[in-house]
Amino acid sequence: MKNRIHFTLALALLLANAGGCALNTELSIPEKKIPANYPDQKNAATIANINWRHYFDDPQLIRLIDTAVANNVDLQMALQRIEVARSSVKLANGTLLPKVDLSVGGGVQKFGLYTMDGAGNASTYITPGRIVPENLTDIYLGLQASWEVDVWGKLRYQRKSAISNYLSSIEGTHFVISNLVAEVAVHYNELLALDNALDIIRQTLQKQQEALEVIKVQKEAGRANELAVQQFNAQLLNTKVLETQALQQIIETENRINFLLGRYPQPIARNKEMLFQAVPEQIAAGLPSQLLANRPDVRAAEYQIEASKFDVKAAKAAFFPNFTITGALGFQAFNPEFLFQSPASLAYSLMGTLVTPLINRNALKAQFNTAQANQLTAMYNYQNTILKAYVEVANTLSNIRTLQKVHSLKEQQSRVLKKSVEASGELYKTARATYLEVLIAQQSALQANLELIEAIKRQRLSTITIYKALGGGWK
């Protein structure tokens, strides 16, 4: 009998080892080497290391970002995800330790007389002169313990996976902060651009109103006809439409900022002149390799790889036998008055159990294959995150250079068209230009000025985009 038990145990261990050792936990994918430099960038210095309170030099914008970081709902949810991950680490730590419970219980049981237990109890004295009661109570007070001995490291791997997921959640929160800071700054600068566009529209309205009054006077003097009056009036009405649309866009942009700040709509304090602050001609982008340390999404993806590696190893360890020790120590009696009469009422038990999977190992294989697929997915996601980050930086750097040229050209165009408006007005007064030429000059000047504001806004937004793309905004 003893030899049969030893044979069964040895066979179980042999099958478990044979199945577990055949599983590959060292996975890899083709490596994509990150470029050494960005195009036209050789400096190792990077703006990503600048705190956002120093990167943005607008006190009103800084106050808005501070409020957003304190109250934004998405950020609060990200912080709660950190708490969930932290609790998972504590849970994983707990599985490594013995589980000890205090047990208090009681019950009553009656055996049939014509049974082995009933017949035995009826003829047995539990104390001198007193047989076992027919209705037998059972009272227990003591400690119960169980401990899964982590022989193969499964529980330790699960703990390491939980720690990696926790660190990933922290980096994920940093990424939320970085996006939040950038988003508030973007909408704030859009608001400044709308304010300045509204000023241009209203200045144009005033000039168009004056031109309309002039054309009406000229009509009365016989120097212009009703068609000219209607054309000037139509242009005036079209500009009023632009004014109405700009006012609506301002309201919506203010509301978007308030939403990011976690509050209901209210006016946003700002200084519209801040839009015209000079932006740096050269952006210190650093080296592409610095993205691995500065971008929170890249770091989060890296921790996800670590977590998936430990999950694979834990899934492999599940093929090996589990060794569990259980025990109990306490007092047990049929009557409370005998409960603490040691050693007669002392009860204890100790057992070691070795369990190895034999049948339905396909479920463990499916679990292991899933863990492998998750690890490969995490590796590809890491590569994709780095590639996405590099492309984002490269595109933004190129866009910054392009916008510098666009800004310069739009400034020249605006100056030229301003002169054309003045010239067309003077020529019209001396009958050397038609009213259509005046209308075209005014419309072109308005469009050019609005496009100049748009170019300035896009240039400022590009400095925000590159700051976030390089990994700034969360420190």
Whole-number pLDDT of residue 90: 93
For 123, phi and psi rounded to 5 degrees? -115, 15
Q: 189, 467 in Cβ contact below 8 A? A: no
Query: Can you list the positions of beta strands (E) in 170-296?
Result: none
Q: What is the pTM of this model?
A: 0.87
Mean pLDDT within 412-426: 85
C-alpha torsion 73→75→81→82, nearest 10: -140
In the structure, what pLDDT confidence band is assigned to residue 91 with cuts at 50, 70 and 90? Answer: very high
**Mean pLDDT in the chain?**
88
The CA distance from 162 to 168, in Å, is: 10
| Topology annotation, domain 30-96+151-321+368-469 | Outer membrane efflux proteins (OEP) (1.20.1600)
Q: Which of 156-160, 164-168, 351-355 has the lowest mean pLDDT?
A: 351-355
For 279-290, what is each residue's pLDDT tens digit?
A: 887 889 999 999
Does the structural domain 98-149+323-355 have CATH classification 2.20.200.10?
yes
Read off the pLDDT band of 432 (50, 70, 90).
confident
Whether pLDDT at 9 is above 80: no
Report whether 155 contacts 148 (CB < 8 A): yes
Tell me how far apart the alpha carbons of residues 208 and 204 are, in angstroms, rounded to a whole number.
6
- List the domain boundaries for the chain: 30-96+151-321+368-469, 98-149+323-355
Burial state string for 382-419 with b = 16 or more CB within 10 A and e = fewer than 16: bbebbeebbebbbebbebbeebeebbeebeebbeebee
Whole-number pLDDT of residue 1: 47
CA gap 122, 129 in Å, rounded = 13
pLDDT in tens, 46-66: 999 999 999 998 999 999 999
- The partner residues of 125 in beta bridges, in order of sequence, read 131
pLDDT tens digits along 256-312: 999 999 999 999 999 999 999 988 878 899 999 999 999 999 999 999 999 999 999
Please compute Rg for the chain using Cα positions: 39
DSSP structural state of residue 279? P
Q: What percent of the chain has pLDDT over 90?
A: 60
